[in-house]
Chain A
Amino acid sequence: MSSLPVSPTGGPIVSSHLSAEPSVQVRSLNYCFGRGELRKQVLYDISLDLFGGHIVIMTGPSGSGKTTLLTLIGALRSVHEGSLRVMGKELVGLGSRQLVDIRRNIGFIFQSHNLFESLTACQNVEMAVELTGQLQNKRQQAIAMLEKVGLGDRVDYKPQALSGGQKQRVAIARALVNQPRLILADEPTAALDKKSGRDVVTLLQNLAREGNCTILMVTHDNRILDVADRIINLVDGRLESDESLQHFVATHDPKTLDRRMFIL
């Protein structure tokens, strides 16, 4: 497979950062679950580059290995085969302690907000700031971030008093407050209604542009595909297609639409 982000289907990859070092560089990555008899390979020979300022959406049917790939890039599992460089650091062969250090520079957004009910919106965000050791102005930083996600007037509310969309925005503030260059999102809109989901992705899109960070998002939600700069399709652990949004729209005309894309 090519080392450059050229789509296997020939779609042009539009990027203004081609010259810059990719924030994520995956080469010939294989991954298996289990050992011995139960060993099951879930990812086959993945090669991929992700660049700053891009929103990359990863789609694919259930069990195709999307989440596994996301957790590998997120330094949540150890990689054994191939090469995986995240923000210039090779993850293959790192111990769990070093993986923790890598994770501190990545923003995670989950399907559920995973906020502590006992903490206010601000305190939840502060938990992330505390990782950097900046205890003096952690509240100011958290408030500034909450204002960016449009929750300046909900700073001292507990999650109980916030709507689903607001909670997810607090979770986004928590993921972004330390200005990570890489954000991994796992179905961030799945638990939200159409409007809140749209608000959340628009917010992510703006923040990615502004902070020049890479967003890798796994989603089944076809309503939000339009925010993507690139769409990667994973089927049975293999990279099926990697194309720009324009190309994706052209090839996925509703009449010729590959139904597999939308098996939820």
Chain B
Amino acid sequence: MHRTPLALLNLIHDRKKFLTSLAGVAFAVLLMFLFNGFKNALYDSQTQLLEKFNAEIVIINRLKENMFVPRAFARRRLYQAKAFAGVEEAFAVYTSEARWKNAATKQTLPVRVIAYNPAEPVLPTADILAHQAALKLPNTALIDTRARAEVGPRETGMITELADREIRIVGTFSLGTDFAAGNGNLLMSDQNFLRYFAFRGPEEVERSFATVDLGLLKVAPGTDVPRLVKTLSDNLPQDILVLSKDGPDGFVMRERKYWEENTNIGFVFSLLTAMGFVVGIILVYQILYTDVADHWSEYATLKAMGYDNLFLFTVVMQEAIILSVFGFIPGLLVSGLFYNLAAGTTGLVFQMTLERVVSIYIMTFVMCLVSGAIAVRKVQATDPAEVFGL
């Protein structure tokens, strides 16, 4: 036989109050998930394209501090790199900002164009590989279905304008937006890239195959990537930067770190998450304090009967933990819905990883414990002698 589960029974006795309490905790959980989610989404989104690149080593212009900076480097550096032992392939990737006309509203707005030789496996995802042949046709491109709604319809077969030239959408792929992408991404062949960006007019930069925005190197299996990166850096001219793609000093982390360290996104959203935490403490404290105040004479009677402060402490703490568990679950579910909704409208990646779920639960747990610790002082201060004569 177990002890009477006083904490649980006290909480669920008044169903309506219990549900309201859970809603309160769930709300605090939702706030923390949303703000934390936005923070992570903004960071994760910056690197989603970079992570998909099929390469171990990336070469960029030394001045390209982040993907926003439109600095290209000489294509011959790629050929130079290819001469080193261990480098199997070198792919050239071209990117450019371009004005896109929304097919429905006829408004123009900037998008990012990513171009490469479709014969090379630069972005080997199933949806892109399926349209490889179609990309070879002139004036064609693939559109990102997760581009922002402002770019208008995102369907295969539609015809609109890119950089004041007609373009035919021959397929779609799924990527999502980031700060550098503007409203969305278009994917085209390097040949088409030249058609659109070689001679755009006197005020625009002329693009050719002589300069490359990103150089991707595939290495032979079993190559020591950090050592190869070092060799390339030491031996190639200093106008480029050679980075491994993954790892703590890699290209992907560098991009993420840039946004983390050079913007206030992290601070703002961490502050908002902390506010959600504080709101939660206040809500849970109110719930627990009300329970204690409502049952003051019962708790005092327990103390008179011979229960000690530790027992009452355990009861209040159990209530706090029950609230944290049962409030977290609906909070998590609603947050999941909101994540999907937000991902759909913004094109940012909202990832609910196990690690993030666990860390938010730990925050919820601590939040409830802190509230419980504040509320319990009321019960502990209860003088059982005062129940007499009431």
Contacts and interface: CB of A to CB of B under 8 A. Distances in A.
A126 to B, nearest CB: 5
Contact of A70 (B300, B301, B388): B388
Nearest to A185: B388
- Chain B interface, >50% SS class: helix
Contacts of B1: 135-139
Report the contact-size class of chain A (Cβ under 8 Å from the partner). Answer: 20 to 34
A135 B388 contact: no
Nearest to A67: B389
A225 B337 CA distance: 68
A74 B154 CA distance: 81
A131 B390 CA distance: 25
A97 interface: yes
A104 interface: yes
Contact of A104 (B306, B385, B389): B306
Contacts of A81: none
B359 interface: no
A135 B3 contact: yes
B304 A103 contact: yes
B322 interface: no
A119 B9 contact: yes
A127 B10 CA distance: 13
A76 B298 contact: no
Given A126-B4, A131-B307, A118 B385 contact: no
B13 A101 contact: no
B306 A103 contact: yes
B4 A130 contact: yes
A24 B390 CA distance: 24
Contacts of A186: 388-389
A114 B4 contact: no
Contacts of A138: 1
A129 B276 CA distance: 42
B49 interface: no
A100 interface: yes
A112 interface: yes
A115 to B, nearest CB: 7
Interface in B294-341: 295, 297-298, 300-302, 304-308
A148 interface: no
B16 interface: no
A111 interface: yes
Nearest to B383: A76
A116 B385 contact: no
A103 B300 CA distance: 13
Interface in B1-52: 1-4, 6, 9-10, 12-13
Contacts of A131: 305-307
A127 B9 CA distance: 13
A223 interface: no
A133 to B, nearest CB: 10
Given A103-B305, A138-B1, A76 B9 contact: no
Contacts of B9: 116, 118-119, 123
B387 interface: yes
A237 to B, nearest CB: 15
Contacts of A137: 1
Given A110-B388, A114-B298, 18 more contacts: A74-B385, A76-B383, A76-B384, A100-B308, A104-B305, A110-B390, A112-B297, A112-B390, A114-B301, A115-B298, A116-B295, A117-B13, A118-B6, A119-B6, A119-B9, A123-B9, A131-B307, A138-B1
Interface of B: 1-4, 6, 9-10, 12-13, 295, 297-298, 300-302, 304-308, 383-385, 387-390
Listed from nearest, the 6 A-B pairs whose CB atoms lie closest are A118-B13, A104-B306, A76-B385, A114-B301, A67-B389, A118-B9
24 contacts: A70-B388, A71-B385, A74-B304, A74-B388, A76-B385, A100-B307, A100-B308, A103-B304, A108-B304, A110-B387, A110-B388, A111-B389, A112-B297, A114-B298, A115-B298, A117-B13, A118-B6, A119-B6, A123-B4, A126-B4, A127-B305, A135-B2, A137-B1, A186-B389
